[in-house]
Amino acid sequence: MKRVFHPAVVTTIVVTGILLLPFLMPDKTVPQWSDSQLRHAALSRNMLPVPKDYDALLRVVDTAENPMSREKIALGKALFFDTRLSRDQTLNCASCHILEEGGDDNRPTAIGFHGRENPFHLNSPTVLNAALEKSQFWNGRVKDVEAQAGGPVQAPFEMNMTPAEVEKRLNADKPLVAEFKEIFGTQWITFENVRKAIGAYERTLLTRGAYDRYLEGDDKAISAAAKRGMTLFIVKGCKGCHTGMSVGGQRIEKFPLRYYFMDYIGITLDPNVKIKKSPFPFENKGGFRGRNGTLKFKVPMLRNITKTSPYFHNGAVEKLEEAVRIMSKYQIGDEFSPEQIDDVVAFLKTLEGELVVY
């Protein structure tokens, strides 16, 4: 049977091909670097190890707006696990940010007060290493962990409180009031200082692992496959967005960056044109379209990425291998082979880490 192409389809194919030409990237030969060359390539591109001790930590994450102290950190830790910050006193920050399981809740969508789901089907980003990011939330709408700490407390589908209710509840605890007075110099507990205390604690939630040891000179810290994956990560352009000590979280970028005609138009014997409904290469469950609906999202961190499945803003992708394939195709424009995907996943596994006890 002869295949019939609708004239509109043929025209669209030609136009789409022309429009995509500027975005086609030349093939980049993957070099075989020595350990010293690979390490230099990473460090020179701001892929840095997490600090080992408290003084080094302060140089990286301390802030003039919320100076850190051991007392403030201890107070923030207590509040992070305090269920009084939720309306029915059953939830705390750790309910959605489980420190032992990657700093998130491993759910496609966050579940809060009385089992309510996030209305946009957004999942909980990890709190681990979040202080290293330049913005918070999937659309990057706030700049730091202090501002982020107040969001879930007030969201009706999360902890469902108001600042006034938090203040009233905590100010009934006289020893806690005295602790806040000692640390902040105030007569009463304010919601702003609650956020600052939690933020100070979250600034200590950094992790170190094999990746950090490799960057510091231990050639045996990661496998040969991981080194190949790290090389791919650098030369293919992944590090362009997933950069910094956090390996991400530094930029707001459009996703997907590239579109493929065959994803959106089904060419069959039926001349009718079939339009793909989702703007993403997966189901658009929840309808969230990033910052101001522009498909711009905060670039996720990749530290501990192996522990934070499912992936993407609405948890639409379960397997890390599929997430890597999608990113290589739709962001880089150079879909990785199965072997390359395995190597990149081997590298991503080196980003697993344990909390540093500062």
How far is CA 8 from each of CA 2, 15, 142, 147, rounded to the nearest angstrom?
18, 11, 44, 50
For 21, what's the count of Cα atoms within 13 Å in the CB-facing half-sphere? 6
Burial class of residue 76, CB neighbours in 10 A (0-12, 13-18, 19+): buried
Query: Distance between CA atoms of 319 and 252, rounded to whole angstroms?
Result: 24
Q: How many helices (H) and strands (E) does the chain have?
A: 14, 4
Contact present, 42 and 234 (Cβ < 8 Å): yes
Question: Going along 98-212, which residue ranges are E strands?
Answer: 207-208
The SS3 of residue 147 is helix
Phi then psi for residue 159, to 5 deg, are -100, -15
For 274, left (φ over 0), alpha (ψ -120 to 50), or beta?
beta
Catalytic machinery residues = 158
